[in-house]
Structure 1
Amino acid sequence: MSQRSDLRRRRAALEDEWSRWVPRLRTATVSPCGGALRPEVTASWARSLGSVDPARDSAPACGGRTVSERWAASPLRRPVHDLAGELHSIAHDAGFVTAVTDESGTILWTCGGRTMRHRAERVNFAPGGRWDESAMGTNALSLALRTGRPSTVFSAEHLVTALHGWVCYCAPVRGPDGRVLGVLDLSTTWDRSHPLAMSTVRSLVTAIEGRLRTESPTRPGAAAPGPVRLTCLGTGRAERDGAALPLRPRQLEILTLLALEPRGYTPERLREALYGDRPVTASTFKAEISHLRRALGGGIAPRRYALTLPVSCDAADVLRALEQGDLTTALRHYRGPLLPRSEAPGLVEWRARLEVAVREAVLAGPRPEHALRYGACAPYDAEVHEHALRLLPPGDPRRPIVVGRLRTALND
């Protein structure tokens, strides 16, 4: 109780100093001072106010390459994957969100419990968010990148008011040549501030840097492995850099489920999604996970199974396009039912969800080409063919195609 009271008093003092000094810093050159303020914080406030509105509600998104491309090329990806189990455990057990950035302050990877992750996503403390000083003002990530030293920022030490409910602990991660490659961050709500959090960050960074030193150097000119491309609509295959991955049907099912659920599965829930009520031993289930992990070169977090490497998936592309109201793009990716031969309960559910979403969007739409495109994937759906005929004008050369499909559907 005493620690909570101390934190509450400290937060109130910082809020008072923020309200007193930040408006003045925006309009004049002053030198803030006060027992609650640290010089590195006030100096960062002054630098940040030229580009950051303290009232902004979230971090801007990065431009240029996608987050998946950045993470695939990052030297931090493999050592972070190796420590993913420990990072997940710390985040879940202590109520933190863990984040890894690149050298520019763009977040590339996060993990944490559902509640904290949702809270972090509201301010775009998530993959793709920019947290450098010019983008998001004073925060622990930006200070660690600027100074090259571990940094903590508590409550109203943040310039942006949307972050006053947070405390963040960061340390830069250096490569074997001493170059800063990014930052490791542990963040939580202000009332969970704890003096041991920075020690945890330092030890994790030491472990990551140790793995960077012991990894085999990449051959000169050799490119990092590209992202995995998963095709699971109408067929099932996974490729990387143009080569097929050696996956059995069950492993394709697991990969598809993980690609469609970025937040991952508990072992119990994933096992149920794969096998339902079938009596399958734990060793059989774990063997399938292990084989998939080896085929991917890692990429699956332990404990809570989730992908930690970039995997693009045609089914996810369809869902994303539908969410954006782009039916043309959705139908370009949709080539048939999800893993049509699979009987895994979780995939049967996803298959129905996808089919209903695409079909209803087609039937509600005014464009005949959409009905024609979907009708090619659903030859026995008479209602879709009838919808296409209603939309096609008399004399349209495509009508005979639809008439033929409709007769086939009605005679089935």
Structure 2
Amino acid sequence: MPRGELQTRRTDAVRAWTAFVEHGDDLASLVRPEILTSWTRSEAAISTDVREAPLADESETAAYWRGSPLETAVERVEAELRRTAEDGDLVVAVTDPETRILWTYGGRVMRRKAETVNFVVGGRWDDESVGTNALDLANRTATPAMVFSAEHYAPIVHNWVCWAAPLHDPVTGTQLGVIDISTTWDRTHPIGLATARVLARLIETAMPLSHGHPVAGVLDEATDPGLVLRVLGTAETWFDGQRLLLNRRQTEVLTLLAMHPEGLSLEHLHALVYGDQAVTLSTLKAEVSHLRAALGGQLASRPYRLTMPVQTDVDLVLSLLRGGRVGAAVEAYGGDLLPGTNSPALAELAEYVAVAVREALLADPQPDAVVRYSELAPYDTEVVEACLHRLSGTPHPAVPLLKGRLAAAQR
């Protein structure tokens, strides 16, 4: 954003904050309602001269984190999270439902700033401990939140801007905490909130399914034996708990074999992968040989077929849809199947899955599921309109989100 606009915005925020803490002025027209509510809650709990966030018990924090679904997910995508922090000189943090930081990583400059205010593992960042901030707002409202400069209640972070998004169990929808990204106010960018949402989605996609749930463990890559494929919206392959590094074509071949447990001849597999492209059979044989080595030999020939247990997110989504569990299906649906694939068979399967999810939502537009789906298909206004029509006249927290999505798509 232009420096002049940011400076004006910061000045306005400081004036509103000063009017509140010094005079208790009515600020209904000056700050967002959620900020004013949090300021009021903060004022009753802490002083503005707070110097750092309080720290939770170190051993308790470590015990909570160890072996949790969040730890598993963060470990799987840690390289991406660290790269985001380093490239943007941000500090990234993951919390529990009480806004206690469980994991954090920062770029060189922001890491030092974070340490001075206990924006570290164990730091308690609920607003009653350290004042208004995006982590607390996202946790309380269960929606992405931004807090800019003096919108923070505590002056120790008036030089910050923070964006946070809630993290949910991929099947039950239970809120597990938030992910936050923070930097200095002068580096505010409109893409900040979208980045927090993307990182939240990245973590949720990497999370093992909750234990005790009817479909728990179906795609638990870390513990399940055999082959686990995630190809909806992302591409990840796990074999006996270890992630395999495959190229795009190898992932496509493996997906087709997973979809055809009865096996495929070389010629049939070639047609499904390449269609009418001028690619030799020997090229496909080379890809299969690489896969056979990566899978410890558990890929038979004549016909080609996998000889181990196989689980895919495609099967999970379709199974949930067959059972009428639309909300759970949308939670498990990460997006289009291998976007950009030029395999005719996979392109057909991708369309089938996408249409099945969409039609299920049109028939049963569950608000939370539609909100989730709209993040993956932001321009599918028909599904949003169907949900708003069903909610017509009925108060629901999803309504403003859906109306905002509709307005954005129609610009």
TM-score normalised to structure 1 length: 0.49
Structure whose alpha-carbon radius of gyration is higher: 1
